[in-house]
Structure 1
């Protein structure tokens, strides 16, 4: 493992997670534990030997751990350690800094429905326990896009996200491309088509009240 050789907290952190692909592996594991094959499929462009090397390095440094899942999975499953989960806050803040760059659309970039799970973490404000209750509307939303499903829950504990399936029940079902769903969740950041939103009149009202609370709602694109 390469080192900057500097007595600096940032430099030492980058010694561990600054290599190409490492932070995106962490992103995947923040969304949820994954098998090697799932990680490889969710990281288009990474060579299989490089993924194996990055996972080994992350395990050796105590950021990632793995275990054998029982049948019917019967595969090695990777997850973040408690220390590794501490990367959530800085990576979410970095994603928030980059969110306005999404306004130009996907273009020729790869898209994956599960990546919206991390986008949701960045789009909505952190829950502040000192407030006693969340200022966000209460609603459950299942997002179906590009063969993936994600469940978003907004309640008094803030906004949470997890991997789901098309059989997961929710008050709202949002369907469309990743770009359309992101545009809808972000409070209409950028121009173009929006996702389809299905649910009762009251649930739809609460859903759009939630997207109106997105940190990007009404914000112009920057950094172009």
Structure 2
């Protein structure tokens, strides 16, 4: 592991997580524990030997741990330690800082529906940060995007999302590309909008939810970075 050699908390942190791909590996593990093959598939472009090296370094520094899981998994599964989970807040804030960079659209970039789990962490504030008397509506929504299905759950304690099955039942179903779904969840719009189905009442609550997004009512390009 290379070091900046500086007695500084930021420099010491970057010694651990500042290498290329490392924070994206952490992002994937914030979505959920993953097998090596899951991580390789979720991180297009990373060489297999580099992924193995980064995981080894993260385990050596105590950010990540792993265990051999029995059937039906029958594989080594990687997960964040308690210390590693402490990276959620700073990485979410970094993602919020990067939202204006999304305004150019996906272009030729890779897309994975599962990345919307992390996007949802960044788009919606903590329940305690909502204005007085405001709260998140109670709602479940299944998101089908770019080969993945997610379950978004909104309620008084906040907004959360997780990877799920394509047949998961929910009050609202949202289908489209990651770019289309991101635009909808952020309170904006896409040239071709995501397909949304649900009862009139559920769609009303979905509209109430997207109105609480930190980006709602703003052009992402105009947000302070």
TM-score range, shorter chain: over 0.9
Q: Distance in 2 between matches of 1:133 and 1:50?
A: 49
Alpha-carbon separation, structure 2, partners of 1:196 and 1:74: 37
Q: How far, CA to CA, are the matches of 1:9 and 1:112 in structure 2?
A: 33
Whole-angstrom distance in 1 between the partners of 2:105 and 2:127: 28
Residue 179 of structure 2 corresponds to 179
1:155/1:132 Cα in 2 relative to 1: closer, same or farther (>3 Å)?
farther
Residue of structure 2 in register with 1:122 after alignment = 122
- Relative to structure 2, which stretch is displaced further, 173-182 or 120-129? 120-129
User: How do 1:95-114 and structure 2 match up within 5 A?
Assistant: 95-114=95-114
1:208 equivalent in structure 2: 207
- Name the CA shift for 1:66/1:135 in 2 (closer, same or farther; >3 Å): same
Query: How many pairs align?
Result: 223
Partner Cα separation in structure 2 for residue 139 and residue 210 of structure 1: 8
Residue equivalent to 2:64: 64
Using structure 2 for the length normalisation, give the TM-score. 0.95
C-alpha distance in structure 2 between counterparts of 1:218 and 1:134, whole Å: 17
Give me the whole-angstrom Cα distance separating, in 2, the residues matched to 1:149 and 1:82. 27
Whether contact under 8 Å (1:35, 1:78) holds in the other structure is yes
Q: CA RMSD in A?
A: 1.9
Distance 1:113 1:130, change over 3 A: closer
Give distance in 1, aligned partners of 2:42 and 2:130: 37
Matches within 5 A, 1:136-155: 136-155=136-155
Q: Is the 8 A contact 2:127 2:136 kept in 1?
A: no
Could you tell me the TM-score, scaled by structure 1's length?
0.95
Match of 1:45 in 2: 45
Contact 1:133–1:157 at 8 Å: present in 2 too? no
Distance in 2 (CA, whole Å) between partners of 1:107 and 1:131 is 35
C-alpha displacement of 1:127 = 2.2
**Deviation, structure 1 residue 133:** 8.4
Alpha-carbon distance in structure 2 between the residues aligned to 1:175 and 1:168:
13
Greater than 4 Å deviation, 4+ residue runs: 129-134
In 2, the alpha carbon distance for the partners of 1:134 and 1:60 equals: 44
Q: Check the 8 A contact 1:174/1:196 in 2, yes or no.
A: yes
Stretches of structure 1 that go unaligned for 5 or more consecutive residues are: none
